[in-house]
Amino acid sequence: MILVLGGTSDSLKICDLLNKMGKSYILSVATEYGKEISKKYCEDINVARLDKYDMIKFAKQNNIKIILDATHPYALDVSRNAMDASYELSIKYIRYERRSSDILEHENVIKVNNIKEACDVANKIGENIFLSTGSKNLGDFVGNLKNKNIIARVLPTSEVLRACENLGLKAHNIVAMKGPFSYDINKQLYKFYNCDLVITKESGAAGGFEEKLRASIDSNIKTIVILRPSLDYPQKIDDIEELNVQLLLSN
């Protein structure tokens, strides 16, 4: 049995692959929203935020032989827990991570390593700031971007909208839409909200990152990109065909 740690568009591609291969697997996601978007790909879905010990228990109960980690590139704790669990159980761990983009080298792109650095730069150069970083760390941005007009693009779920309101964001500060978004949609949103700065994460091609960045570059808007963190994965794959081969070899 394979445990797929998902919640991204990549994990849905992997479910498609496993279905075609006839592999038995369980998809684990952190939220009900993740379950909802995965239903048409997978029947056996676990909804839980698993720490290391939860993963060990779950793997033992379900006779897991491979952990296939397709979580978001910034979900480091989940990946660490998965690697630790696989090591303790002596089972195979494979990290599937979308390719990075090659368009980061532009004069209007400012690369930083974390949220604090992003806010430090943004406080100096931005006024109408478009946040395309998701809702997970929205509180850090709101707390550190003082006296700025923030436009946060987030998922259109009641849970996320309540979180935005609890942070003091008003209707005119919230763009509730499900991505990924096209170049044209991004460009029109930047124009509509009169943005002079975009903050995003280096999420990779599958997350619509290139469309966001090309739209801001072509609009002559400075963009702060929080670079993807890195872990020392025992095995990392960024191509679905290579994953196919590795799964065939693991039989």
pLDDT tens per residue across span 186-206? 999 999 999 999 999 987 666
Spatial contact of 15 and 7, defined as CB atoms under 8 Å apart? no
183 lies in the same domain as 244? no
137 lies in the same domain as 172? yes
- pLDDT of amino acid 73: 81
Domain assignment of residue 71, given as a range: 2-99+231-249
Query: Which candidate, 154, 188, 196, 147, places its Cα nearest to that of 171?
Result: 154
172 lies in the same domain as 142? yes
Q: What's the pLDDT tens digit per position in 132-183? A: 998 888 999 999 998 999 999 999 999 999 999 999 999 999 999 988 899 9
Query: Which candidate, 188, 228, 239, places its Cα nearest to that of 104?
Result: 228
Torsion of CA 53, 54, 58, 64, to 10 degrees: -50
Total domains in the fold of the chain:
2
36 domain-assigned:
yes
Residue 7 clears pLDDT 90, i.e. is over it? no
- pLDDT of amino acid 125: 95
132 lies in the same domain as 85? no
| pTM of the complete model beyond 0.85 | no
- pLDDT of amino acid 207: 65
115 lies in the same domain as 216? yes
54 lies in the same domain as 132? no
186 lies in the same domain as 78? no
Percent of the chain scored above 70 by pLDDT? 97
50 lies in the same domain as 142? no
Cα–Cα distance between 10 and 16 in angstroms, integer? 10
**Phi (first) and psi of residue 208, to 5 degrees:** 80, 15
Residue 80 clears pLDDT 80, i.e. is over it? yes
Q: What is the domain-level CATH number for residue 157?
A: 3.40.50.620
